[in-house]
Amino acid sequence: MATPPAKPRNTGLKIISVVLAILLWLYVMNQGQLSARQSVLDVDLDYIHLAEGLTVDGPAQVSVRLWGVFQEPEKVKAYVDMAGLGEGTHNVPVHVEPVSGSLFTRVEPDRIDVVVRKTYQHVVGIVHQVVQNPPAGYEVLDILVSPDKCLVKGDDEAVSRVSTVVCQVNLAQASNLAIFNAPLIAKDVNGNQITEGIRLVPDHAQVVAVIQEKMETKTVPLQPNLTGQLPEGLQVGTVSLEPETITIVGNPVQIQPITQIQTDPVDLQDRRESFTETVTITLPEGLRGYPEQVKVSVEILGQTPDQEESI
């Protein structure tokens, strides 16, 4: 009986081939001025393909160990495929997407326990809360938040604790018409923020704030502004104004220090007789006032008898 030919023993050749392939790989990668190294990273864990209406509780991160000549280890992605999993507790494998340049990749733990629950939801009205007022001298006319409701989704216990959804509004730098987006915050009946076990849809709202300069009124006395020199031998006697006061309207910061308002100049140059003149009142920029004009009566003393009779 003929003996079958012995199979060639090529195990050693296979090992040598693998070693040579690794050495060649390292050589090629080193031509790009990279060096082989090891890295251990904490990577966020994604849960993909989770069925609609379900929520999952499980670890937020896993540890990934890499060895090779990779350039961007921060791009490592770890995930759990939740396809086909329903309510209950499941032990599932953790996957890591291939990392360019990495020879070995290991994830710890490589399996995890996750709990899948039904998603509960209800609609809650959004209320705004001003956490910072407008600058001094300005006031809020109106605030509009859009949308005015949001959907709270999550596990039953967490969703049931949500009492209000708050949109915090910071107007410290706002003026005129301010439009911006602000995050939404879920709170319980005691005002405590709820972050675990829920999701807000949407999680931001658009805020439209109408801001205007705050206005106040103030009544202050008028003072005549007399300029120029009377001819020699004459002098100013009684000076009266009609009316004697003015009501100004403006920003409280601006009008608060004002204690009187001067009329526009009344020129006395070459005046020899008493006179009455209507003059305008020019106010500082940003202020309005009533009246806008005033009658100024100036008595001139030292006149001749003929001049006195003619008045």
Displacement of CA 252 from its chain's centroid (Å): 28
Strand order in the sheet with 138-146: 138-146, 204-213, 177-187, 164-170, 120-132, 149-154, 198-201
Give me the CATH topology for the region 216-310.
RNA Polymerase Alpha Subunit; Chain A, domain 2 (2.170.120)
What is the model's pTM? 0.46
Averaged pLDDT score across all residues of the chain: 83
Please give the pLDDT value at position 311.
Answer: 46
Confirm or reject CATH 2.170.120.40 for domain 120-213, answering yes or no.
yes
In this structure, of 3-7, 82-86, 160-164, 196-200, the range with the lowest mean pLDDT score is 3-7
Contact between residue 49 and residue 76 where contact means Cβ atoms under 8 Å apart: no
Phi/psi for 277 (5° steps) reads -135, 140
Q: How many residues does the chain have?
A: 311
Q: How confident is the model at residue 104 (pLDDT cuts 50, 70, 90)?
A: low
Confirm or reject CATH 2.170.120.30 for domain 13-118, answering yes or no.
yes
Please give the pLDDT value at position 101.
Answer: 64
Which segments of the chain belong to CATH 2.170.120.30? 13-118
Which segments of the chain belong to CATH 2.170.120.40? 120-213, 216-310
Q: How confident is the model at residue 76 (pLDDT cuts 50, 70, 90)?
A: confident
- Please compute the mean of the pLDDT values over residues 111-135 and round it to a whole number: 88
Q: State the Cα–Cα distance between residues 214 and 232, nearest whole angstrom.
A: 50
